Amino acid sequence: MPSARISTFFHPTIGVFAVLFGVATLISGGNNILLLQSAAEPTERIVPFVLYFNFAAGFAYVAAGAAFILHRRWASTLAFAIATATLLVFTGLGVWILLGYPYELKTVAAMTIRTVFWWFTAIASQLLSDVRPAATRRLKQ
């Protein structure tokens, strides 16, 4: 089991990064949604479902970050949910690209960063967590 010292440092640190990531996502997504809604013909090749998902996910990023900072037991679960949803949307983006629809390379890069960040966060937070499922605790005794 990891030391409590590592866990005590990791969770608030990753929480701060998640909150900052969430705020940046909300600002960027909000600006792009306004751009998409205001332009008759958008100049960028925006993928609407990715844009709307990322904007909505920004709220979940902030919630997960706050949960990590406050050492809430459900923070890891939310991180896994965000990671899974992000991977599903990333898969949808891959299908979108394969079907020949327009996209920006920066969208692929951003989705790669989001997917890696949230899977790293989810797995590391579970490994460093002091809270284990009851079945796991029984097996180790």
User: What value does the mean pLDDT of the chain take?
Assistant: 86
Here the contacts of 90-93 (C-beta below 8 Å, separation 24 or greater) are 90/114, 90/115, 92/49, 92/50, 93/47, 93/50
The reported pLDDT for the residue numbered 47 is 92
- Which residues does 127 contact at the CB level (< 8 Å), separation at least 6? 2
Pairwise pLDDT comparison (53 vs 7), residue with the higher score: 53
Mean pLDDT of 32-38: 80
**Residue that is written with structure tokens 């890696």 in the block:** 116
Q: What is the pLDDT of residues 55-79, one digit of tens each?
A: 999 999 999 999 999 989 899 999 9
Q: Is the pLDDT at 41 greater than 70, yes or no? A: no
